[in-house]
Structure 1
Amino acid sequence: MKTSILSLALTLVFGGAVLANPIDGEKKAVKVEESTVTWKAYKVGGSHVGTIALKSGSLEFEGETLVGGEFVVDMSTINTTDLTGDYKNKLDGHLNSDDFFSTASNPTSSLVFTGVKQTGKNAYSVTGDLTIKGITKPISFDLSVYGTKATATLKVDRTNFDVKYGSGIIGTAKDKLIYDEFDLVVDLQM
């Protein structure tokens, strides 16, 4: 009887200590000013390239192993880098409009990791919830981490987020047909 009471007491004490002090991973904030997010969108007649700024972000580690992450992008910073002058201003304005990302009513987009699987020494397969225009959809991509740097390339189907301008238009000029998928190339500094 004394052994049972002692076991129960030890379980409550140590079990309570574990619940009171859970083992959390280390969150490493991303240096948003030093990190880059580059987008590339494709159309039948070519492509356009630009950048968009991170508002905040972090990667979570347990020891040296990546276990999580979350990011917020400032959608008002959409910037076309392959054009200049009026053409650049026109495209930037169009991307911010309701035809594309509706940045006035949707000022941020986000990505929250929901699963991380290590596939190599510095390589991970990541699943997450991507939110654009208030619509959240699952996404999968590969991510590499080397010391204080991390890189990933994501392929995003814009039609999943109600961005359908120029999608599958039949009978228009080839310059107007925009492919549904665009790429995001992310270089993070922590």
Structure 2
Amino acid sequence: MKKNLLSILFISAITVSIVSCKDKAKEADTTEAEEVVAVTPEAKFNVDLAASSIDWKGFKPAGSHNGTIKIESGVLNTIDGKISGGTFLIDMASIEVKDIPAEDEGNGKLVGHLTSPDFFDIEKHPNAAFEVTGLEEVEGKMMLSGNLALKDAKNNITFPVTVTQANDSITLVSETFTIDRTKWNVQYGSKSIFDNLGDKFINDDIELKIMLKAAKS
């Protein structure tokens, strides 16, 4: 009877582990920032700020929080109808929390903490920036690479996207992916940086999903 019970518990643990792995977004490949080679584009597409968005999600043992960040400006460049480059400014002061009602005191406290020196320090670093360094097909998926400058660090990240072009417009939608915030010196509550946090830590991974719409200029 004990053997059967242990077997059931063991199988259940494996099942939970497999499901958790499937549900977890993959971390973007992260390397040192790359030099961007200036190439004259054949066409430029200006990002439609109202129709574009970045969704974020952060995790801790007690649960998670999610919200959005606005793109301040952006352009995609193309050669032979394919994305060849692009730059984007992200307004870090626009961080919104969606899982707590806006009128709730907790919403303002969380936004204030995220924009403080503990996290993104928007007084010193009001913008983040992303500069495209490549787009190529790998094993049937389009992989977008670019230098992400966030807070006081810059790294190159690569993540899967879907790109659609029609009627002088481009839509680019990423799969949900994660970045390790500590690689951009966002260290608050990280158990990989600080000892003795117990269950008061905050996961290093930040989950992101990007949706861009751009029209030919």
SS of corresponding position for 2:57:
strand
Alignment of 1:189 with 2:208, yes or no, is: no
1:101: which partner in 2?
Answer: 120
Q: How many residues align?
A: 167
Note if 1:30 corresponds to 2:54.
Answer: no
Q: Tell me, which stretches of 5 or more residues in structure 1 are unaligned?
A: 1-21
Equivalence for 1:118: 137
Normalised by the length of structure 1, the TM-score is: 0.80
Query: 1:180 and 2:198 equivalent?
Result: no
Q: CA deviation at 1:23?
A: 6.0
Is the contact made by 2:41 and 2:77 (CA closer than 8 Å) also made in structure 1?
A: no
- Contact 2:178/2:205 (8 A) holds in 1: yes
Alignment correspondent of 1:164: 187
Q: Which has the higher contact order (CA 8 A, sep 6+)?
A: 2
Cα distance in 1 between the residues matched to 2:67 and 2:122: 16
Asked if the contact 2:59/2:202 (under 8 Å) is kept, the reply is: yes
Pair member with larger Rg? 1
- CA displacement, residues 74-98 of structure 1 (integer Å, 9 cap, x when unaligned): 0001111101211111000000000
Aligned partner of residue 47 in structure 1, secondary structure: strand
SS at match of 2:50: coil
Q: Does 1:69 align with 2:86?
A: yes
Task: Classify 1:107/1:23 alpha carbon distance in 2 versus 1 (closer, same or farther; 3 Å).
Answer: closer
Identity of aligned residues (%): 32
CA distance in 2, matches of 1:43, 1:129: 27
Give the corresponding residue for 1:151: 173
What is the aligned-residue RMSD (CA, Å)? 2.0
Q: 1:94 to 1:134 in 2, by over 3 A?
A: same
> 1:166: how far off?
0.6
Deviations 1:44-83 (A, max 9, x none): 2211100010001122222332222211100001111101
Change (3 A) 1:71 1:23: closer
Distance, in Å, in 2 between the alignment partners of 1:32 and 1:25 is 22
CA contact (8 A) 2:61 2:202 kept: yes
Task: Give the secondary-structure state (helix, strand or coil) at the position aligned to 1:99.
Answer: coil
* 1:104 Cα deviation from its structure 2 partner: 0.7
> Is this contact kept in 1: 2:189–2:197, CA < 8 A?
no
